[in-house]
Amino acid sequence: MPSEAGKLHHSVADVYCDEVERCGQKTVVRDLYRLGFDPILKAEEMPAVGAEPGPDVQTELTHLSGCDVFTLIYPIWFGTPPAMLKGYIERIFGSGVTPQNVLLRNRLGFLTAKRLLIFTTSATKDLWLDEQGQVASLRQVFDRYLAHAFGMALEKHVHFGHILPGTRARWIDQNLYDVRQEPRRVCAEVLAATRHTAPAKTVGKVLA
């Protein structure tokens, strides 16, 4: 991806985590590319009764345990999320979740009742994307499906368009200002809803 987009994703993650911690909460960041995450769903991991997660899947599940908010940060690639993120959802989010669970809304996974917040970027302008129905379609087939399949509460999808080589710093700063508002709002909602006596945890998936 363009270097500006990669830098922006990391900046979004950094700003987001800083604000979460300012709110007195904890963060867990999983940078999939830096981790070298394997996105390929193995035959033995296919959702079924008795399926055993591999060591790397179990490691991720341990990291995500106890998180209240899941934040995805990724670029839009040819109209969809990158394969790396799709693989993470298949192997980690979908671990132990069968098609019957989704169909019957039998919420058994660790994501049940958790909050989902999404930040995306693209090289094209928002106006062009809107004309193509791009972001609206993504929200329908990806965001809402995740919320439905895993029983999550969909918070918001924030998109930043026209991220190109030479993008002005002022435009980047404006995007980051918008990022700062979301963790403040979500943390306040989580604390009000759950009345935590200990810090909540927020997790971000960063694709750079």
* Residue range 163-175: mean pLDDT, rounded: 66
Q: Which is more confidently placed, 4 or 8? A: 8
Q: Given this model, what pLDDT does residue 205 score?
A: 47
Q: Given this model, what pLDDT does residue 47 score?
A: 77
Q: Given this model, what pLDDT does residue 92 score?
A: 94
Q: Which residues contact 4 (CB under 8 A, 6 or more apart)?
A: 163, 164, 165, 166, 167, 172
Q: Given this model, what pLDDT does residue 208 score?
A: 37
Q: Which residues contact 6 (CB under 8 A, 6 or more apart)?
A: 208
* Residue range 148-177: mean pLDDT, rounded: 78
DSSP for 172-198 reads HHHHHHHHHHHHHHHHHHHHHHH--SS
Given the DSSP bridges, would you call strands 26-31 and 153-160 parallel, antiparallel or unpaired? Answer: unpaired
Angle at 98 between CA 113 and CA 58, to 5 degrees: 75
**119 vs 203: CA distance, rounded Å:** 13
**pLDDT band (50, 70, 90) for residue 87:** very high
Q: Find residue 159's DSSP bridge partners.
A: 120
